[in-house]
Amino acid sequence: YLSFSERQFVYPSHPVFTYLQKNAGLDRFWTYGDGYINANFATQYRVYSPDGTDALFPARLGELFYATETKGRFAPSQRIDARIARATEGDGMTDNSYRLRLLSLLGVKYVTDWARAQEEKFPQTRFTPVAHFDNWHIYEYKDALPRVFLTSSYTVETDRQKILDALFVQEPTGKTLVLEEQPSVQNTDLPIGSAHIETYTPNSVTVSVAPTNAGLLFLSDTHFPGWTAYVDGKKSIVYRANYAFRAVTIPLDATSVEFRYEPDSFRWGIIISLLSIIAGFVWMRRYER
């Protein structure tokens, strides 16, 4: 790749990306086997992959991804990546239940594959063929959770291994969240209503909500210092949910939730810059005299 190469030679148009751009929306996709697509391509085509592209990422996310390779065991000291381990051509999609569960938690609705015939590795009880282009195939994963949803069901656990057990080893929890501190809402199984992402940018996410009971809003985006939440304009606690993601409490009368990236480092950068400009101006005035 050369910095002056034409874009069409580095990121060419392709029916797979065209399909995802038209149909996936904010739902994520993942690539299987020889159909592997590098994570940086997703960013260029404005589609969403769970794989990270930077060497710097939250350790929690890397630990969660790596747990699909350790069969749910917590392994903090391993060299890990913010990527879900690739499936080889000898693996069926249902052979690794840990990876399958993680794809569900991450809202991976589409799986792409490049092969002549792979139907036996994508059982139609869980995967629906939705498109094919030559040897490329796209499947819809039926068990993928929404990128954002409301729930009133949760458990509280602080031990990392026990959190992973709840997510991977025990019976699938569906929309039951695993939190690390007690929220201010009651744990119930009541119907909770609906949520829909209105705007989605790198630094902010706005979600419209229509709750039928007080509960929790879950967003399968990474929990990270600097992200704040506002429920109908009022600042709210952002809980770490399902090991590495975000949740906020939602009162019965809530209508909107906004997540904003407002790190302290940005505020301090502005303050220091302003003070530097003022100091420079004062120094120049004194020098002129």
Tokens 């940005």 correspond to 266
Q: In what order do the strands lie in the sheet with 256-261?
A: 193-201, 204-211, 256-261, 227-231, 234-236
Closest among 102, 95, 85 to 123, alpha carbons compared:
95
Using 70 as the pLDDT threshold, list the residues of the chain that sit under it. 1-3, 53-55, 77-80, 88-90, 116-118, 170-173, 266-268, 287-289
Phi-psi region at 174: left, alpha or beta (left = phi > 0; alpha = psi -120 to 50): left
pLDDT of residue 239: 98
Contact 149, 219 (CB under 8 A): no
Helical segments of 52-168, H only: 59-66, 97-105, 160-164
pLDDT of residue 120: 79
State pTM to two decimals.
0.87
pLDDT of residue 219: 97
CA 227 to chain centre: 14
